[in-house]
């Protein structure tokens, strides 16, 4: 119940000023001091409402987009790597074939096969390393 002879509390003044609580209307009709408080609140917060909105002195969209593509642009396939891998493979196959032919006349069959298996392991390791490195980098990028 709103008291007629007492001034309104600050909370009641605010509630009336911003949430239009009519319970205090009767008091405000006869109380100049409380009406003035309501008027001041409304004037101040009309000022806040009409304030010029804050703004950056650059175009936000352009600034933000310029910072994102490095992380998020779809990756282009690395053609240079593919060419190098294919060329490297061809060189190794040719070298292997030549060595195989030379070794066939000089070493025993078991020795020859051991050499072939060792060469295959080295080849697989060499081809696998860039792939593993690439995966590692991708995982690191996703974590950032």
Partner 1 sequence: MLKDTDDHFTDRALIKAASNGDMRAFGSIIEKTEGLVTQIIFKMVLNSADRKDMLQEVYLKIFKNLPTFKFQAKLSTWAASITYHTCFDYLKRKRLVLLEDYAAHELVVSGETERGLMNSELSLILSMAMERLSPVYQTLITLYHHEELSYEEITEVTGLPAGTVKNYLFRARAALKQSVLKNYKREEL
Taking the least distance from each CB to partner 1, the nearer of 5 and 67 is: 67
Which residue among 43, 122, 131, 138 contacts partner 1 (CB under 8 A)?
43
Which residue among 1, 29, 48, 70 contacts partner 1 (CB under 8 A)?
48
DSSP string, 67-91: HSHHHHSPPPP-HHHHHHHHHHHHH
Binding mask 61-100 for partner 1 (x = CB under 8 A): x-xxx-xxx--xxx--------------------------
Taking the least distance from each CB to partner 1, the nearer of 36 and 124 is: 36
Least gap, CB of 80 to partner 1 (angstroms): 24
Least gap, CB of 18 to partner 1 (angstroms): 8
DSSP string, the chain: ---SSSPPPHHHHHHHHHH--GGGHHHHHH-HHHHHHHHHHHHHHHHHHTSPPP--SS-HHHHHHHHSHHHHSPPPP-HHHHHHHHHHHHHHHHHHHHHHHHHHHHS-HHHHHHHHHHHHHHHHHHHHHHHHHHHHHHHHHHH-
Which residue among 2, 21, 26, 45 contacts partner 1 (CB under 8 A)?
45
Instruction: Provide the binding-site residues for partner 1, judged by CB under 8 A.
Output: 10-11, 14, 18, 33, 36-37, 39-41, 43-45, 47-49, 51, 53-56, 60-61, 63-65, 67-69, 72-74
């Amino acid at each position: 119940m709103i008291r007629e002879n007492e001034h309104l509390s600050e909370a009641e003044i605010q509630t009336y000023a911003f949430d239009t609580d009519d319970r205090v209307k009767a008091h405000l009709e006869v109380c100049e001091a409380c009406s003035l408080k309501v008027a001041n609140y409304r004037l101040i917060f009309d000022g806040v409402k009409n304030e010029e909105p804050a703004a950056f002195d650059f175009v936000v969209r352009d600034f933000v987009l310029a910072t994102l593509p490095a992380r998020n642009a779809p990756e282009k396939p690395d053609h240079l790597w593919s060419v190098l891998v294919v060329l490297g493979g061809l060189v190794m196959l040719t070298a292997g074939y030549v060595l195989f032919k030379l070794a066939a006349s000089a070493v025993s069959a078991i020795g020859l096969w051991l050499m072939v298996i060792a060469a295959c392991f080295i080849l697989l390791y060499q081809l696998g390393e860039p792939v593993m490195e690439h995966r590692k980098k991708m995982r690191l990028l996703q974590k950032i």
